[in-house]
Chains A and B, each alone.
Chain A
Amino acid sequence: MDEASAKPTRTFRIEAAGRASRAAAFAAGVMLLILVLLPVFAGRTLIQDLIFLFYMLALAQCWNLLAGYAGLISVGQQAFVGLGGYLLFALTLLGGIDPLLAIPIAGVVSALFALPTALIVFRLHGAYFAIGTWVVAEVYRLVFAQVKLLGGGTGTSLTPSVTSSVPGIEWVKSLLDVRTPAARDIISYWVALALAAGTLALVYLILRSRRGLALGAIRDHEAAAAGLGVDIYRIKLAVYVATAAMTGMIGALIYLQKARISPDAAFSVLDWTAYVIFVVVIGGIGTMEGPVIGAIVFYLMQRYLADFGASYLILLGALGILVMLFAPKGLWGLVSERYDLTLFPTRRRLIIHDHGDG
């Protein structure tokens, strides 16, 4: 030890957060507070729009963790959105359980379904894995279409007694002086905000932990990571199950808000996987900032261009292709390369101080 301290020409330290990210953390806190209080002064349309933005953001963050970090390019996440939605319907309509309690239960059950699913799809790699997950999602869809108690192939609706039994509705009604449907939207909004913020926090904590280092290593070079002793299979399984749980909860919330479910909509590859992939890629895959940017871009496109129907989707497809070919790191990649910005400090940097006087 003495020898080392005898020649103190340089000191090293590992730093994660930079100045921008500390400012971002403060801004995020303020932002969260504003968003929580937003229903007090915002109209119902904005609240509904933001619910959509929040669940797209949460779904994108989950898919990014799967594909961008763990290298699990799944085209079958709609399996867990649909599963979560159907679980919410089963638990509330058939089980008489409180809708807000049904959401976390849907998350746990989705994780339990994800384990045996993983046993099958983890036998596949790369392209096979992608198609395998899609086929599994189709199996889920076809099986739920057989459940006559939940409406079979045509689906079913939540009864008014369920939708009005969401706790807190009366409280919101008297506090903000709104009607029942608006109060329901506000509760959904808070749940969506909690899920989006929770997903962000979870992904951030995972990436900052030891597991996160392993995930970053897998993202950068899987074989090298394995060579350095990362247990690839276990980490991938953990990520797959965790994202399935989050995706299931998001699905439960989406269908609590929609109050109507059908197998084709709940297990739609387009709505719950294709768009999510576009959000992640347009924003920037393999970073936490990317899905946030992508979700905002997608929301704005949806808000202002959705009236154009099919042409809007053609535009979205073309934008995805262009970004993938010409800016594969996405919009955030363009920004961060230029200004060296990090909002979510998940990377560790080595800081070297030179001491001239020794």
Chain B
Amino acid sequence: MTGWLDALIQGVLLGGLYALFAAGLSLMFGVMRLVNLAHGDLIVLAAFAILFIASKLGLDPFVAVLVAIPILFVIGFALQHVLLNRALGRDLLPPLLVTFGLSIIIQNGLLQVFSADSQRLRSGAIETSSIQLGGGIAVGVVPLLTLLSAIAVIVLLNLIFYRTPIGRAFRATSDDLEVAQLMGVDIRRIFAVAMGLAFVVITIAALYLGLRANFDPTIGPARLLYAFEAVIIGGLGSFWGTLAGGIVLGLAQTIGARIDPEWQILAGHLAFLVVLVLRPRGLFPRAQD
């Protein structure tokens, strides 16, 4: 019994990580309808950026991430302004192909610069410390921080979306692109800001990716799938739905792993397909699209 309860708790905590992966993707898809196939590779890229800053400046990853955030915001802004804005339009294929190309470029670029070696972000005692909940169940501090950060990120994103002028512009372009443009919204700039913001979320996700497990340049595509599954399970248009989707996915994976360690990933994918068959628009859909 304790084993199963433990699996449930670990599943929810793992869901926090997937929600962080997914929040950036949800933002891009929500605002600019961008299907970003490079999302996983961008998370890995950000993890390498944190690693690089931490080792060059001798900083703790939690401090290094604060240095990385403004840098990645600028990279995201520029990427959208220079490249991705050109690819967006009625047709699905150009953004799909451009981000696929980006994914290959990032993976191989990282391989060249950092080699294929496994890396990890080191932050001393906090990595291994845990909190005893009694009854033989303990939760790691880092997994707990991951879930809390996911919740904080979602609260902040909701504040930005519903309480600020730029958030109003995000919602306007999301609801009706043409009308938003007619009302004087400069969508190219709005999209670039949204991408910069998504990159900030990506950087936070990368911190926990690197603290929780080893990473190397090739693991991006699998993270992309988890992120997509969380977004689609949760239903488009709601960040809280994305958190719920991440938790459903995390639970499915830990329960699958509990039955047979080799079934962890498979159980997650199957849960996703089951949700799709039963509720094609996700568990908590908001947007009509």
User: Contact residues of A with B, CB < 8 Å?
Assistant: 67, 73, 75, 120, 123-124, 126-128, 130-132, 134-136, 138-139, 142-143, 145-146, 153, 269-270, 274, 277-278, 281, 285, 310-311, 313-314, 316-318, 320-321, 324-325, 328
Residue among B100, B103, B111, B221 having the largest count of chain A Cβ atoms under 10 Å: B100
Q: How far is the CA of A238 from the CA of B225 in the complex (A)?
A: 27
Q: How far is the CA of A139 from the CA of B228 in the complex (A)?
A: 15
7 interchain residue pairs of minimum CB distance: A317-B104, A310-B108, A127-B35, A317-B101, A321-B101, A317-B105, A142-B266
Is B92 an interface position by the 8 A CB rule? Answer: yes
The residues in B between 102 and 148 inclusive whose CB is less than 8 angstroms from any CB of A are 102-105, 107-109, 111-112
Query: What is the predominant secondary structure among interface residues of chain B facing chain A?
Result: helix
Which residues on A sit within 8 Å (CB–CB) of B277? 120, 123
Whether A139 touches B104, Cβ cut-off 8 Å, given contacts A131-B232, A310-B112, is no
Q: Establish whether residues A124 and B105, one from each chain, have CB atoms under 8 Å apart when the complex forms.
A: no
Q: Establish whether residues B265 and A281, one from each chain, have CB atoms under 8 Å apart when the complex forms.
A: no
Q: How far is the CA of A285 from the CA of B97 in the complex (A)?
A: 12
**Count of A-B contacts judged by CB separation below 8 Å:** 110
Q: Establish whether residues B228 and A328, one from each chain, have CB atoms under 8 Å apart when the complex forms.
A: no
Q: How far is the CA of A310 from the CA of B280 in the complex (A)?
A: 39
> In the complex, which of the residues B96, B105, B225, B262 contacts A127, with contact meaning CB atoms closer than 8 Å?
B96
Is B63 an interface position by the 8 A CB rule? Answer: no
A59 to chain B, nearest CB (A): 16
B70 to chain A, nearest CB (A): 26
B100, closest chain A residue (CB): A274
**Stretch of B177-185, B238-246, B267-275 lying at the A interface:** B267-275
B286 to chain A, nearest CB (A): 16
Is B83 an interface position by the 8 A CB rule? Answer: yes
Is B53 an interface position by the 8 A CB rule? Answer: no
13 A-B contacts, Cβ less than 8 Å apart?
A128-B280, A130-B92, A131-B232, A135-B272, A285-B93, A310-B108, A310-B111, A313-B107, A317-B108, A320-B97, A320-B101, A321-B97, A324-B101
Q: How far is the CA of A270 from the CA of B277 in the complex (A)?
A: 27
Number of B residues, CB within 8 Å of A: 38
Q: Establish whether residues B221 and A136, one from each chain, have CB atoms under 8 Å apart when the complex forms.
A: no
Q: Establish whether residues A120 and B276, one from each chain, have CB atoms under 8 Å apart when the complex forms.
A: yes
Q: Establish whether residues A120 and B97, one from each chain, have CB atoms under 8 Å apart when the complex forms.
A: no
Interface string of B254-284 (1 = CB under 8 A from A): 0000000010011001101100110010000
Is B9 an interface position by the 8 A CB rule? Answer: no
> In the complex, which of the residues B92, B103, B270 contacts A126, with contact meaning CB atoms closer than 8 Å?
B92
Q: Establish whether residues A318 and B265, one from each chain, have CB atoms under 8 Å apart when the complex forms.
A: no
Whether A311 touches B108, Cβ cut-off 8 Å, given contacts A277-B97, A321-B98, is yes
A274, closest chain B residue (CB): B100
Q: How far is the CA of A281 from the CA of B100 in the complex (A)?
A: 12
> In the complex, which of the residues A124, A313, A324 contacts B98, with contact meaning CB atoms closer than 8 Å?
A324
Q: Establish whether residues B269 and A320, one from each chain, have CB atoms under 8 Å apart when the complex forms.
A: no
Is B37 an interface position by the 8 A CB rule? Answer: yes
Which residues on B sit within 8 Å (CB–CB) of A320? 97, 100-101
Q: Establish whether residues B112 and A311, one from each chain, have CB atoms under 8 Å apart when the complex forms.
A: yes
Whether A269 touches B221, Cβ cut-off 8 Å, given contacts A123-B277, A314-B108, is yes
